[in-house]
Structure 1
Amino acid sequence: MPHLWLRAEHRDNETRVGLTPKGAAALVASGIEVNVEASPTRVIPDQAYADAGCAMVPSQSWPDAPRDAIIFGLKELPDDGTPLPHRHIMFGHAFKGQPAGLRLLHRFKAGGGTLLDLEYLTDDTGRRVAAFGYWAGYAGAAVALKCWCAQQRGTRAGPIGSYDSSTHLLTELQAELVATGSHRPNALIIGALGRVGTGAADLCTAMGVATTKWDMTETASGGPFPEVLAHDLFFNCILARPGTPVFVPADATTRPRQLSVISDIACDPDSDFSPIKLYDHTTSWDAPALRVHDSPPLDVTAIDNLPSMLPLESSEDYAEQLLPSLMQLKAADAPVWIRAAQTFRDHVARL
């Protein structure tokens, strides 16, 4: 039977988790051994996992876990260059040529381990079995509106934080919009039919923001897309890949535009395939808005762990989606894990 080791996240502002106590109890009942690292920041308390029958271990002790343990976390590992001998389930962001991703792959190659990337866990139709996309879109739209409100005040958006619930977020955001004394902006969403776009659209609807919803049909021409510049807000909800059109070219700041906030929710700026050419690095919780042009202002917001703004709701949703696949770890021939391992081997072979 497999041995699953739920590690504590080390990244700042990352309190999400991919396994709830309810899910852990189901794994334990099925015969899977589950260790959980203590974490003072995880949105779900340690005691809840202990009560579910998990064996608690010290925080960040996974490097010393038995070699047969499957290390499960969400965000990146410490970038210390050490070889990685275990199997890891995580978001590696390592398969599209990103510099940090290449370093990670070399560490797996050196240690003999395997990256089972959560982004590449797919069913037989190629659809991801679990995704944080809805909450990324929801939170990303909220941050974009905060950036727009700051512009109306003649400033730039300040630090953001996490919320106990989406209700708390909506209440705060509504007050900010009212305080501007301005009209509500409008928005263009590309990727509106997917999980991310749906989340962004739902937040906009809740805040009275009119949206234009585009998906593959509307972008099939390959561009250019002057409509992007004709909206106040633009939400990119499409994962960058070969063939993705450019939605915002590098010279967009020199063109006539209504656009004042770009929310790159898909957030892959260091990929060659990024459809937004105005910036090359993510923004942060402390400084969510990158000013790429001063007058009239144009800000880009691109935070790569947006669902952490709503950690409990996003964790419970994601964990419920992922649990059936975790249960399949017991089967050596489970297609979802076989495909993920082959994807890793294909990319390591190209190093």
Structure 2
Amino acid sequence: MKKLTIWLRDEARTTERRTPLLPEGAKELMAAGIEVVIEKSDKRIFTDALYADAGCTMASPGDWETAPTDAVILGLKELPPEPRSLIHSHIYFAHAFKKQSGWQTLLSRFLRGGGSLLDIEYMKGDDGRRVAAFGFWAGYMGAALALMQWYDRKAERTSFINQGLRPSDSAKALDDLIKSRVVGSEQPTALVIGAGGRSGSGAIKILERHGVRVTKWGRAETKDVDREAILNHDILINCAYVTGHIPPFLAPYHIKADSRLKVISDVSCDPFSDYNPLPLYSAPTCWKTPAITAKSVEGRVDLIAVDNLPSLLPMEASIEFATMMLPYLKTLATRTQDPVWVNCDAAYRHACDAMTKSEVA
């Protein structure tokens, strides 16, 4: 039986420093009989030398395009726009199965080349729960940015985060940075929607550690949304995972000039989806200018919607996430027998069927 090859690609996104595979994990995969190829990267938080020392085969950035067709290409964020035909199985966060912007173009690339897409977001057990996610650190960083932005709004000074985001060396360094923005003794209040999930727990942890009073909402509180309650907090952190049509948590016409709410961090960040519960912006915000003014009829609310928040703590985020991924990378050779990969492939097939039907209609 031919060895399975897992090929870790260099990320196309210049700000992406995380990795779904650690050098120690690569060593475990090779011990399990899997060939591991690592594309060199000057961005990845773990150096090329660590992978080479682990015994991995090293390749140049972008070499995955000409890899053997049975290699499984592993990454995190979006693929470059070329090649137009994708011949491999790819594992990454594609953000295409909920009909987000560009979903048909992406799926067509796989169908044209005969490849397949194993979207990490749909790696779920038979209980429907995701087995690997960056959620905790996404919520953690989303709340951290919101807190710093609120302090700057309160002090009526230039936004620190809008001077450009840079990854923190550690969670301790991030704590020190937040403390450096504090003015006076007043602490904000914050509402975390989706408080029971991974992202929500990360947001709550850093907010409470910095003395913030946190209101925690789950599904029960969003069945009939109390928008006055939302507007009566200083900060809103949205960590809700929405998979169907619901009334918006806040729309532009809900925000008033006298609203207490000053900062929103949309950790879930799904502006291209029809299911977006915060239709206050049209595209994710960037590292250069992470805070923008939300669409509103009256009041000014700053909105942060960075779609790769855990990259701002790449070491901690990579260690946690790669540890979750490793057991499933080990079962890739027999993925038709692993419910997680079976469910992931079913989600891809369902999305392709939906695209085909929409084209026919």
Indicate whether the TM-score tops 0.5. Answer: yes
Who is 2:348 aligned against?
A: 344
Equivalent in the alignment of 2:168: 163
Q: Distance in 1 between matches of 2:278 and 2:257?
A: 15
Change (3 A) 1:274 1:97: same
Deviates more, 1:268-277 or 1:244-253: 244-253
CA distance in structure 1 between the partners assigned to 2:284 and 2:185 by the alignment: 29
2:227 alignment partner, one of 216, 225, 228: 225
Per the TM alignment, residue 53 of structure 1 is displaced from its structure 2 partner at its CA by 1.6
Q: Return the alpha-carbon distance in structure 2 between the equivalents of residues 6 and 66 of structure 1.
A: 13
CA deviations 1:6-38 (Å, max 9, x no partner) are 001120210000000111111000000110000
Identify the range of structure 1 (227-236 vs 335-344) with the bigger mean alpha-carbon deviation: 335-344
Contact 2:257-2:298 at 8 Å conserved across structures: no
Alpha-carbon deviation of 1:309?
Answer: 0.5
- Deviation of residue 294 (structure 1)? 10
Task: Name the structure 1 match of 2:264.
Answer: 262
Shift of 1:273: 0.8
1:297-336 Cα deviation digits (max 9, x unpaired): 3111000000000000000000001111111112142221
Specify the alignment match of 2:194 in structure 1. Answer: 191
Pairing of 1:306-325 with structure 2 (within 5 A): 306-325=309-328
Contact kept in structure 2, 1:135 and 1:310, CA below 8 Å: yes
Give the whole-Å Cα distance in 2 for the aligned partners of 1:224 and 1:164. Answer: 39
What corresponds to 2:219 in structure 1?
216
TM-score computed with the length of structure 2 as normaliser: 0.93
| Residue 71 of structure 2, aligned match among 69, 89, 99 | 69
CA RMSD of aligned residues (A): 1.5
Query: SS state of the match for residue 251, structure 1?
Result: helix
Letter in 2 for 1:350: A
CA distance in structure 2 between the aligned counterparts of 1:183 and 1:294, rounded to whole angstroms: 28
Which segment drifts farther, 294-303 or 119-128?
294-303
**Between 119-128 and 243-252, the greater mean CA deviation after superposition:** 243-252
Specify the code of the residue in structure 1 equivalent to 2:338.
Answer: A
Alignment match, 2:358: none
Corresponding residue number in structure 1 for 2:35: 33
AA partner of residue 126 (structure 1): G
Match of 1:203 among 198, 203, 206: 206
Q: Provide the rounded CA distance (Å) in 2 between the counterparts of 1:56 and 1:81.
A: 22
- Provide closer, same or farther for how the CA distance between residues 63 and 135 of structure 1 changes in structure 2, counting only shifts above 3 A: same
Q: State the match for 1:86 in structure 2.
A: 88
Shift of 1:182: 5.5
Cα distance in 2 for partners of 1:315, 1:101 equals 27
Q: Which runs of 5+ in 1 are unaligned?
A: none
CA distance in 1: counterparts of 2:251 and 2:101, whole angstroms: 23
* Equivalent pairs, count: 348
Partner of 2:249: 247
Residue 288 of structure 1: aligned partner? 290
Cα drift, residue 345 of structure 1: 1.1
Q: Secondary structure at the match of 2:37?
A: strand
Indicate if the aligned counterparts of 1:224 and 1:246 stay in contact, CA closer than 8 A.
no
Aligned-residue sequence identity (percent) comes to 43
Amino acid paired to 2:126? D
**Displacement of 1:160 after TM fit?**
1.5
